[in-house]
Structure 1
Amino acid sequence: MSDIRPLEQDDIPAVAEMLQRILRKRRAPAPQGMRDYLRELFLDPPCREDDIRSLVHLREDGTVNGFMGVLPMRFTFRGETLRSAIGGSFMVDRHEDDPYAGARLLRAFQSGPQDLSLTETANDVSTSMWRKLRGTILTEYSLEWLRILRPAGFMAAIAAHAFAPAALVQPFARPLDALLRRRGSPPQWTHVADGEFAQKALVSEDTDIAETMTLIRSFASTFALHPEWSHTELERMVVEAQRKANYGAMVRRKVIARGGKTVGFFVYYGNRGGIGRVIQILSLPGHEGSVLDTMLDDATARGLVALRGRGQPALVNAMLGKRFAFVHASSSIVHAKDKALLEPFTAGQAFLNGFAGESWTRLLGDRFD
């Protein structure tokens, strides 16, 4: 008979091989660096709770055929501390051999001692499972956005991602983009004109780890429901978030209004000629548009061809009219034992995704070779 139990040290090799093959779509064996990181992340997570642990599903012969990676995190809401569990890296090996293994694993996860069960990376299959188990799909938190900056370069980058030799055409895209982006050309959803953000962008400056932690805490506290990190927990997350080799170099900047007040903060990764990945945008209420303009101006100046990231309700509203495109690639979902706790999520007053999720981890965007 199949079984579900907490992750143990000896399970790591099997979990690493499943992740490499099922989620990363790689044929090569999982590198030792990945095994080490899985052990570090899921057996000793930053916000450790001894009774909230990652889970494995076992076949009848005792071998591992399923996994739910769990990251505990404490939230605060109306002065009360809530225990949460963020589920990710959800996978089942050869699910056709045991079609209900995934549902059993998800049910076991939701049945844990936490007040909130969360995810920000549910694909279509797991979203259907969450829905059947009464999870609440958070539409605006689940939207992926895309802003094209240089259309020819964007198309070349897409081609190079699908077929590596296509990267040879990328230099030829630059003069075409220069023509399309000539100063004074009318605004288009396909690209930005040269200097388009010059009058709208605010000053931005790089931040170190200590200031980054201060800014994340400060801006997160503007949400009715937000994480309650210790100094050590948040520091570890910010440090680990620096390493995402597949996404490119990290850009981590604060946004300063003309009076000298810091009104926003953003973190993205990207290299010249590439598509940048944003994992966090934060701002004071009412400054979302200015922070977005400043981030787009920064990415344009660095030669990126586009930016993509995950939505939050206030950000989605600010993006309207700024020629962002929206798609759905994965879902942010919440399951609460007390239905009253759903209110801040459905009202857009919960800080979720990015550092309040799993996007900060090296599993999304890093290499372990």
Structure 2
Amino acid sequence: MFLRILRRETSADGGAALAVYLDDLFCGPYRCDGEIVSRVHVTEDGRLNGFIGVLPQVMELDGEHLRAAICTTWMVDGHQADPFAGARLLKAVLSGPQDLSFSETSNDLSTAMWRRMGAHVLAPYSLEYLRVIRPAAFVTRMAANRFGLLGAFTPLARLADRAAAAGVNGLSWAGFQPRPGKTDALAETEPDEDALAGAIGELVVHHRLHPRWSDEQLARMLAHARVKARHGTRVQRILRTRGGKLAGLFVYYGDRGGIGRAMQVMAAPGMEGLVLERLLADAHARGLAAIRGRTQPALLDAMLDRKFAFLHASSTVFHSSRPQLADAATQGRAFLNGLSGESWTRLIGDRFD
């Protein structure tokens, strides 16, 4: 059902491998709460025709530990024959014992259902950002994704970008060129997963409402995120000031000539712009045409100053009966999307063939 409905593939394209992964993701060691569970919908004749995947997560607000349900894969087979199956699934999840529920990949139909059940649509979290680095390569890659033969123009695009680069200011809409400045004062390291997890844990507490991962849980999530074959090679960096203070980090996937996909960008307060410029400089050095990812309110101002463009593809939605939790989310003070969502899973960006 997942392959056919969400990826428009057949079970021969990796059904067995996907089944093993879904079992591990939703029923395996990651599961830390036996009461916050995924749901299936079964017809009157006993046929399974719907599923919503749920990942339990402990979160924290002002020192209080909270139970969260992260809603991920949501699908109904034969929606026209049973138009209320999706609503029943969502209602079953939202009726659970958790303090809050959210999803970062809600399409228009799903968002309408969330709204009817009292959820908030979080606009600052619901945008995809895009920063073009090499405009000719970007246009060529976008065209080739639709019409494969156009990929033959890639060498010409590289020549065009090389010729145009001389006149590009670092903050131009017409591309990106690294520029000397304060970013040079940041020391960059390629961390192993233990060091990366430590930096994530240190930075996430700057958000009032944030996940409280165990060491084992975060290590497992980063292991899941090692490979995303559809997105490219994984790149992870930690940035520190000359005095050794943690400034930020980024994790993205991408290959030369392609469009990189950021899984997580984090910055200490006041360091957002420098971290973003180092992200762009790294992507430029690797030959990427552009980089894209999911917005977080803490980074928006710095992105606007650095010529990022924004588009809407899906919504981040948030549900809680507790006003203080809803306030933290609607005011942009929650850590959502990326590692606090489903972008780290292999369901986003990997293959199962």
Give the TM interval when normalised to the shorter protein: over 0.9
TM-score, scaled relative to structure 1 = 0.92
Contact 1:145 1:327 in 2 (8 A): yes
Contact 2:59 2:68 in 1 (8 A): yes
Number of equivalences = 350
- Equivalent residue, structure 2, for 1:20: 3
Is structure 2 residue 150 aligned with structure 1 residue 160?
A: no
The residue correspondences of 1:79-118 to structure 2 (distance < 5 A) are 79-118=63-102
Counterpart secondary structure, 2:23: helix
Contact 1:20 1:29 in 2 (8 A): no
Query: What RMSD in Å do the two structures reach over aligned CA positions?
Result: 1.4
- Equivalent residue, structure 2, for 1:261: 245
- Over 3 Å counting, the alpha-carbon distance change for 1:200 and 1:163 in structure 2 is farther
Matches of 2:71 and 2:192, distance apart in 1: 29
- Equivalent residue, structure 1, for 2:180: 198
Q: Note the C-alpha offset of 1:221.
A: 1.1
Matches of 1:110 and 1:69, distance apart in 2: 13
Matches of 2:171 and 2:201, distance apart in 1: 36
Is structure 2 residue 26 aligned with structure 1 residue 42?
A: yes
- Equivalent residue, structure 2, for 1:345: 329
Contact 2:262 2:292 in 1 (8 A): yes
Is structure 2 residue 119 aligned with structure 1 residue 135?
A: yes
Matches of 1:69 and 1:232, distance apart in 2: 21
Contact 1:45 1:71 in 2 (8 A): no
Contact 1:200 1:293 in 2 (8 A): no
Deviations 1:112-154 (A, max 9, x none): 1111111000011101111111111111011110000001100
- Equivalent residue, structure 1, for 2:211: 227
Matches of 1:94 and 1:342, distance apart in 2: 34
- Equivalent residue, structure 1, for 2:40: 56
Matches of 1:53 and 1:185, distance apart in 2: 51
TM-score, scaled relative to structure 2 = 0.96
Identity %: 47
Q: Note the C-alpha offset of 1:321.
A: 2.0
Paired residue type of 1:199? G
Runs of 4+ in 1 over 6 A off after TM superposition: none
Matches of 1:225 and 1:344, distance apart in 2: 6
Deviations 1:312-352 (A, max 9, x none): 11111111121110111111111002222112111211111
Stretches of structure 1 lacking an aligned partner (at least 5 in a row): 1-17
Is structure 2 residue 334 aligned with structure 1 residue 357?
A: no
Matches of 1:75 and 1:125, distance apart in 2: 28
- Over 3 Å counting, the alpha-carbon distance change for 1:59 and 1:45 in structure 2 is farther
Q: Note the C-alpha offset of 1:205.
A: 1.6
Paired residue type of 2:180? A
Counterpart secondary structure, 1:340: helix
Matches of 2:200 and 2:258, distance apart in 1: 26
- Equivalent residue, structure 1, for 2:305: 321
Stretches of structure 2 lacking an aligned partner (at least 5 in a row): none
Matches of 2:130 and 2:29, distance apart in 1: 31
Paired residue type of 1:132? R
Matches of 1:243 and 1:186, distance apart in 2: 31
